[in-house]
């Protein structure tokens, strides 16, 4: 068989632990037999990040900006325990945080649906994609305790002069107060990323906040989304037959639960934190969630939503058999191939990406799956066979139809 040719490289970022092994197995079993793989390789494993003083993460991020498409393996975000485990020079920052800061992107998470794994909400027939604004609000807040008899004020200094606004008078009781911020430029980037990804995936966008209560702060988000949409996206959306609409967060929650799925739900930072875990759990499994970082200029970086699956890795190191689910990592690769194929007019590469995804789903639906899925899979007509990771990948390869 002639291997599929690539014209432009994908930026490939290797990672850590169990997912580092799975990464190589996916390449060996599902990619290299079919594709003449062209990547620009960066090792984002913790050892190499420490060796290069994390320069490798910055270089990889700049490469994604240059080529437009990246695919990343899960990586360790160091904590004190990792400092001693890897004898690190420094507690390096989360690679995802570094990449996000350089690309200025928004993360979109969507579940992969298969028959046999039913969402807890049975009407959810299509995936719900959560777009979480990843800057500001309570994640960059300042806060303080205030003693009884105290006062808290908000002081704003800008070209319009100095304003002092009373937050609360604590004359009767002690309490707490908080200050938070966001920026127009970050909200504009967020809005653009959401609208670009909607056009990319042909889905509606819902955006929710609490502008009836927060008449300046949340209202600014609502206004910016509206302006960006009216000025740059309205016509494109009409052409694509998709919609943008704004609603209050509590109304959005009720609508989401009643919906059939198939849309992008753009959330403010805190709402996105909470709702993404709720949606992921309700769809069944973290190992079946994909994640894509979309920059306002359309650059994309694909990965799995889960981590390096440390617990399985320690078992693997002891020689025990492991059945770690590679699906989200496979879909990170196929997402990157599809996007690369679309940018390069490489129809064969797009077709290959579709075929691997189809084969992955078919393999699970025919009963071959990893242990995490075997626990939740329900279809009386299908006999479930729990596979080790490599065995599962081989089964998928057998189902690829090009």
Binding site for ligand NAP (CB under 6 A): 74-77, 96, 286-287, 303, 306-311, 324-325, 372
CB of 201 to ligand NAP, least distance (A): 21
Q: Compare residues 269 and 346 and give the one whose CB is closer to Mg ion.
A: 269
Q: Quick one: which segment of 77-85, 98-106, 201-209, 271-279 binds Mg ion (CB under 5 A)?
A: 271-279
Residue 273 contact, options ligand NAP, Mg ion, none, Cβ 5-8 Å cut-off depending on partner type = Mg ion
Contact flag: residue 273 with Mg ion (CB under 5 A): yes
Residue 224 contact, options ligand NAP, Mg ion, none, Cβ 5-8 Å cut-off depending on partner type = none
Phi and psi based region of residue 137 (left: phi greater than 0; alpha: psi -120 to 50; beta: remaining): left
Nearest to ligand NAP by Cβ — which residue? 307
Q: Are 207 and 275 in contact (CB under 8 A)?
A: no
CB of 25 to ligand NAP, least distance (A): 13
Q: Compare residues 168 and 270 and give the one whose CB is closer to Mg ion.
A: 270
Q: Compare residues 136 and 307 and give the one whose CB is closer to ligand NAP.
A: 307
Strands 106-111 and 289-294 come out as antiparallel
CB of 68 to ligand NAP, least distance (A): 21
Residue 373 contact, options Mg ion, ligand NAP, none, Cβ 5-8 Å cut-off depending on partner type = none
Q: Quick one: which segment of 92-100, 113-121, 267-275, 368-376 binds Mg ion (CB under 5 A)?
A: 267-275
Residue 211 contact, options Mg ion, ligand NAP, none, Cβ 5-8 Å cut-off depending on partner type = none
Q: How far is residue 64 CA from its own chain's centroid?
A: 16
Residues lying near Mg ion in the complex (CB under 5 A): 273
């Amino acid at each position: 068989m002639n291997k599929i040719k690539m014209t432009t490289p994908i930026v490939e970022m290797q990672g850590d632990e169990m997912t580092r092994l799975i990464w190589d197995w996916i390449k060996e079993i599902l990619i290299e037999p079919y594709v003449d793989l062209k990547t620009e390789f960066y090792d984002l494993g913790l050892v190499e990040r420490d060796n290069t003083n994390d320069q490798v993460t910055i270089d990889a991020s700049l490469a994604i900006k240059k080529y437009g498409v990246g695919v990343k393996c899960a990586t360790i975000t160091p904590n004190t325990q990792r400092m001693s485990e890897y004898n690190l020079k420094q507690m390096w920052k989360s690679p995802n945080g570094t990449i996000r800061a350089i690309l200025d992107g928004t993360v979109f998470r969507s579940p992969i649906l298969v028959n046999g794994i039913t969402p807890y909400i049975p009407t959810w027939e299509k995936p719900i994609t959560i777009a979480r604004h990843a800057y500001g609000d309570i994640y960059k807040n300042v806060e303080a305790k205030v003693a009884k008899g105290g006062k808290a004020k908000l002081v704003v200094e800008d070209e319009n002069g100095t304003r002092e606004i009373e937050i609360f008078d604590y004359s009767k009781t002690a309490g707490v107060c908080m200050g938070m911020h966001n920026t127009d430029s970050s909200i504009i980037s967020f809005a653009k990323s959401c609208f670009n990804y909607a056009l990319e995936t042909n889905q509606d966008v819902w955006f929710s906040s609490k502008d009836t209560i927060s008449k300046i702060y949340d209202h600014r988000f609502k206004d910016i989304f509206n302006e960006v949409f009216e000025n740059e996206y309205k016509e494109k959306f009409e052409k694509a037959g998709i919609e943008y609409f704004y609603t209050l967060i509590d109304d959005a929650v009720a609508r989401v639960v009643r919906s059939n799925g198939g849309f992008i739900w753009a959330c403010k930072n805190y709402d996105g934190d909470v709702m993404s875990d709720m949606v992921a759990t309700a769809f069944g499994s973290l190992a079946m969630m994909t994640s894509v970082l979309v920059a306002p200029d359309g650059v994309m970086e694909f990965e799995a939503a889960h981590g390096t699956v440390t617990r399985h890795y320690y078992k693997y190191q002891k020689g025990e058999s492991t059945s770690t689910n590679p699906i989200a990592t496979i879909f990170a690769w196929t997402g990157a191939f599809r996007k690369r194929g679309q940018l390069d007019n490489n129809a064969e590469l797009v077709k290959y990406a579709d075929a691997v995804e189809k084969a992955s789903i078919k393999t699970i639906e025919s009963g071959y799956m990893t242990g995490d899925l075997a626990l939740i899979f329900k279809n009386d007509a299908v006999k479930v066979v729990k596979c080790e990771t490599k065995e599962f990948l081989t089964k998928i390869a057998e189902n690829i139809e090009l």
